[in-house]
Amino acid sequence: MRAITDSATMLRRQIKHIWRYPSLIVTYTAVPVVFLLLFVYVLGGTLGAGIGGDRAAYAGYLTPGIMVTTVAGAAQGTAISVATDMTEGIIARFKTMAIARVSVLTGHVLGAMLQTFIAIAVATAVAMLIGFRPSASALEWLGVVGVLAMITFAVTWLSVALAMVSTNVATASNLPMPLLMLPFLGSGFVPTESMPGGLRWFAEHQPFTPVIDTLRALLAGRSAGSSFVEAAIWSAVIALAGYLWARRLYNR
């Protein structure tokens, strides 16, 4: 019970930071929206024809990839926030206080998830304004939220661990950057079938591809099939590894 109340306190601390310093959440929101507009309006005609549709059809194909790109991009902000706390000494003060140790990192994770979901909501709204027309039912939208929560939770814990293994804020901001490339090297922007052999194999077996495929199926009103199981497994593995790594570093 104490861990829950202390985590809620740390979450309120993160929400106050979001309110006072909105630059990170503006970045979280602006980057995926720029990617969305760039790919739809500059490349959408050609890429839409490549998937057998038009620019609006490509907007629908692209949106799940943009959602996951938002999650990956937010990892950098999470790492910066945690590394800032670590280097400024506030974590050392928290360790001397009578609070649950896990609550400090949990507050960061929950705050980062809140920011990420705000950015995803804005990016999705922009996608609908420029032609995305999802066919998902209310239950399928609930599934979309659940899948996004799984992968956001996993990536956020990983970014916390990467921040804690860093020696300074600059290093922490750079370590999560490869995550931002994974949606591009998966099914986020083009079908994996269009890629050459080695790259196609990587695209089909990396963690973000089943997440994107599951979101795409749910938003289109189709069954996600085995991609949901793969997405859940990848999310669980990444979340557990990130949590155990972060906890070990924090306790040390």
What pLDDT band is residue 94 in, cutting at 50, 70 and 90?
low
What pLDDT band is residue 121 in, cutting at 50, 70 and 90?
very high
- Cβ-Cβ contacts under 8 Å for 192 (sequence gap 6 or more): 186, 200, 203, 204, 209
Q: Residue 223: which of 123, 137, 114 has the closest Cα?
A: 137
190, 50 contact by CB (below 8 A): yes
Q: Is the pLDDT of residue 93 over 90?
A: no
Write out pLDDT tens, residues 139-186.
999 999 999 999 999 999 999 999 888 878 888 888 888 999 999 999
Note the pLDDT of residue 6: 63
Note the pLDDT of residue 55: 83
Which H, E and C letters describe 45-60, residue by residue? HHHHHHCCCCHHHHHH
More confident call, 112 vs 237: 237
Domain residue limits, the chain:
2-251
**What is the rounded CA–CA span in Å between residue 203 and residue 92?**
41
Q: Is the pLDDT of residue 100 over 80?
A: no
162, 172 contact by CB (below 8 A): yes
Note the pLDDT of residue 3: 63
Q: Which two tokens stand for residue 252?
A: 């040390």
103, 14 contact by CB (below 8 A): no
**What is the rounded CA–CA span in Å between residue 69 and residue 66?**
5
Rounded to an integer, what is the distance from CA 84 to the centroid of its chain?
Answer: 20
